[in-house]
Amino acid sequence: MSEGEMAIIKPEMMKSYIWLETADGSIQQVEQEVAMFCPMICQEVIQKGVGSSKNYAISLPQRVNPAMLSLIFDYCRFHQVPGRSNKERKVYDEKFIRMDTKRLCELTSAADSLQLKPLVDLTSRALARIIEGKTPEEIREIFHLPDDLTEEEKLEPLKNTMDDPRIRLLNRLYAKKRKELKEREKLKSVEVEEHVDERSVDDLLSFINGRDPKVVKTSKSKKKNKKRKEQKNGSSNGTCEALEKDLHNLDSKSQSAEIVDNTASCLGDVSNLPSMEDDIFTPKTEFEDGYIDDEIDPALKELLDREVEDFARRLNSSWVLSIGQERQPVNFSINGNGTSRRLTGPAAGHK
Amino acid sequence: MNNLPEDCIAKILSLTTPLDVCRLSAVSSIFRSAAGSDDVWNHFLPADFPAGFAAPAGLPTRKQLFFSLVDNPLLINGTLLSFSLERKSGNKCYMMAARALNIVWGHEQRYWHWISLPNTRFGEVAELIMVWWLEITGKINITLLSDDTLYAAYFVFKWNHSPYGFRQPVETSLVLADTESTDNVVQPSMISLMQDSGGEEGQSPVLRRDGWYEVELGQFFKRRGDLGEIEMSLKETKGPYEKKGLIVYGIEIRPVP
């Protein structure tokens, strides 16, 4: 039937329609004023003169399927009416976007390809509200995304997320991991030596005890290990006090920053997250700029690699999760020696 | 979300927070790519920078500029004011140097002297030799700050080898100087600059990561379109005793977390 015939047969239908074809081949028609609300369709009609009949239906982009198209047109049909108040529109919008996440994504995609900016804004905001505060794992689950980043790539952003001394630990692990990966390529055989564990713990303890980093020796004896273990298990108060003194005595910028970092993480780790200690199996590293100690022998690679991944995983689950909460639990407020200290939060950089 | 193009993801990310964007760059490779895009970080950078702002060289991406401003406060207005961004939100933060403050008797060498200390972002800090009339005021134009944000002002200081006279509390006040409502009398609050002097009264000082102390002078909310100046002051002019040994770094203004 041609349009002319239709006009005669149904005189009361004064509306004109636009014909649209979705990627799957199905063709539908929609009232002109509704369709023209979409810039992309508008453009096709005006510039190319298509859409006026079934044979000249406008081909819609692939991202638009019939179900989404119908949703979009519901939206357009409501909003293209000029007389509605802002409040009415808002109420409609809020109801409109109540749909499952998958459909929200499809809708965003479809609206984007039709260049329907108000709807894209609406759905994007809804999706932003959904993803805010969630961990990467959760996002992957909700949206069925592939886990296609390397460990390194996953650890990288954590540097920027918090003004937290443990970031330095992370940086060291990251750099270490990077170096490991390089060296791994050269190696063939891997042996695990027994003293690996103790050394790691020792390094861990010295880090936690936050002794002046310059004083940390590269070679350790078992005796020292035991001593430090005792120290750690003993009064954390004493340690904190010593560190406070160190802090006030140093005037070098990087040193004091490091000491404060180590102090804070010492205090933080000792009192808030004892379980983290077990996970931070970092080998000895140079503290100054995160550069890795060269004396790690190849034998440790595999074990350290696992430890780093374990740490990273834990970061993903417990720590990164805590980043998402309003006030992260790692507020180091400790009255170790009567002084109350508080990190002033992630404000402008204090160096 | 598999079928969402990267620029849609970037748009969605730009509607979250810098913190979220960083965290979410660990989701998958397309998120990582979207999370690093300039479109997203342009959204978090202030729409308007303060006069005299010049982006540091060598920062090709907007994300790098953002974090550079978070971690490295920039000096504007010579060496009197530093500008930086708050990490979680991208809101603007400032610090006024001691030289930018009005320190009564600050020009008199027998009362205050101006020294340079390492690791401070300004050329000079003010060291109190001795004074009876302690009065330090700072003003900042509220339009410099980010809209719809709750800010707090902090007095940043430390002690030299022999402070004296600060066991008593000092008065602080923070007020929006509005030329119209001059009948507003603001009650000052009393704070103690020393940590161990019976701190039930108001705020007590906190040690910052840079080794200086800070104490909150007050809070204010900046709304879009607010005009005028915030006046902050700290004084001790009533006690009949001398004050010595205070070293003033400046006043920092940043969002309340």
Separation of alpha carbons A303 and A47, rounded Å: 65
Q: Is B198 exposed, middle or buried (0-12, 13-18, 19+ CB in 10 A)?
A: exposed
DSSP 3-state of B206: strand
Sequence-distant (6+) residues with CB within 8 A of A286 are A292, A293
Residue A110 lies in a domain: yes
Please check whether residues A155 and A45 belong to one and the same domain. Answer: no
- Residues of chain A with Cβ-Cβ distance to B35 below 8 Å are 157
Please check whether residues A132 and A55 belong to one and the same domain. Answer: yes
Q: Identify the pLDDT of residue A335.
A: 41
Please check whether residues A132 and A71 belong to one and the same domain. Answer: yes
Closest alpha carbon to A69 in A22, A104, A102: A22
Tokens of A234: 């003993």
Residue A199 lies in a domain: no
- Residues of chain B with Cβ-Cβ distance to A264 below 8 Å are 209
- The residue ranking higher by pLDDT, A8 or A77, is A77
Residue A50 lies in a domain: yes
> Confidence class of residue A61 from pLDDT cuts 50, 70 and 90?
confident
Please check whether residues A80 and A133 belong to one and the same domain. Answer: yes
Q: Find, in chain B, the residue whose alpha carbon is nearest to that of A143.
A: B1
Size of interface A-B (CB pairs under 8 A): 156
Would you say residue A77 has pLDDT above 80?
yes
Residue A157 lies in a domain: yes
Please check whether residues A23 and A137 belong to one and the same domain. Answer: yes
Sequence-distant (6+) residues with CB within 8 A of A231 are A205, A209, A239
Nearest to A347 among B28, B67, B254 (CB): B254
Q: Are A263 and A257 spatial neighbours (Cβ–Cβ below 8 Å)?
A: no
Q: Which of A54-68, A146-160, B153-167 has the highest mean pLDDT?
A: B153-167
Q: What is the mean pLDDT of chain A?
A: 63
Pick the range with the lowest mean pLDDT from A125-134, A162-171, A193-202, B180-189.
A193-202
Place of tokens 């005793």: B241
Please check whether residues A21 and A115 belong to one and the same domain. Answer: yes
pLDDT tens-digit map of B63-72: 999 989 998 8
Would you say residue B78 has pLDDT above 60?
yes
Please check whether residues A44 and A134 belong to one and the same domain. Answer: yes
Nearest to A145 among B2, B12, B23 (CB): B2
Please check whether residues A59 and A154 belong to one and the same domain. Answer: no
Nearest to B24 among A139, A147, A248 (CB): A139
Please judge whether A148 and B8 are an interchain contact, meaning their C-beta atoms are less than 8 angstroms apart.
no
Please check whether residues A138 and A186 belong to one and the same domain. Answer: no
- Residues of chain A with Cβ-Cβ distance to B93 below 8 Å are 347-348
What CATH number is associated with residue A102?
A: 3.30.710.10
DSSP 3-state of B46: coil
Nearest to A160 among B22, B195, B252 (CB): B22
Would you say residue B251 has pLDDT above 90?
yes
Looking at chain B, which residues constitute the CATH 2.60.120.260 domain(s)? Answer: 93-255
Please check whether residues A122 and A153 belong to one and the same domain. Answer: no
Please check whether residues A39 and A135 belong to one and the same domain. Answer: yes
| Prediction pTM value | 0.64
Q: Identify the pLDDT of residue A64.
A: 86
Mutate to test the interface with A, among B2, B8, B161 (most CBs of A within 10 A): B8
- Residues of chain B with Cβ-Cβ distance to A158 below 8 Å are 22-23, 26
Please judge whether A136 and B119 are an interchain contact, meaning their C-beta atoms are less than 8 angstroms apart.
no
Range of the domain at A30: 17-143
CA distance B76 to chain A (A): 15
Residue A154 lies in a domain: yes
CA distance A244 to chain B (A): 10
Residue A34 lies in a domain: yes
B93-255: CATH number: 2.60.120.260
Please judge whether B70 and A349 are an interchain contact, meaning their C-beta atoms are less than 8 angstroms apart.
yes
Residue A97 lies in a domain: yes
Which H/E stretch holds residue A167? helix A166-186
Would you say residue A139 has pLDDT above 70?
yes
Residue A134 lies in a domain: yes
* Cα separations in angstroms, A151 against A243, A289, A301, B202: 34, 21, 15, 47
pLDDT tens-digit map of B24-37: 888 888 888 999 89
Q: Are A167 and A159 spatial neighbours (Cβ–Cβ below 8 Å)?
A: yes
Name the DSSP class of A327: S
Please judge whether B13 and A162 are an interchain contact, meaning their C-beta atoms are less than 8 angstroms apart.
no
Please check whether residues A55 and A165 belong to one and the same domain. Answer: no
> How many domains, chain A?
2
Please judge whether B257 and A105 are an interchain contact, meaning their C-beta atoms are less than 8 angstroms apart.
no
Please judge whether A344 and B214 are an interchain contact, meaning their C-beta atoms are less than 8 angstroms apart.
yes
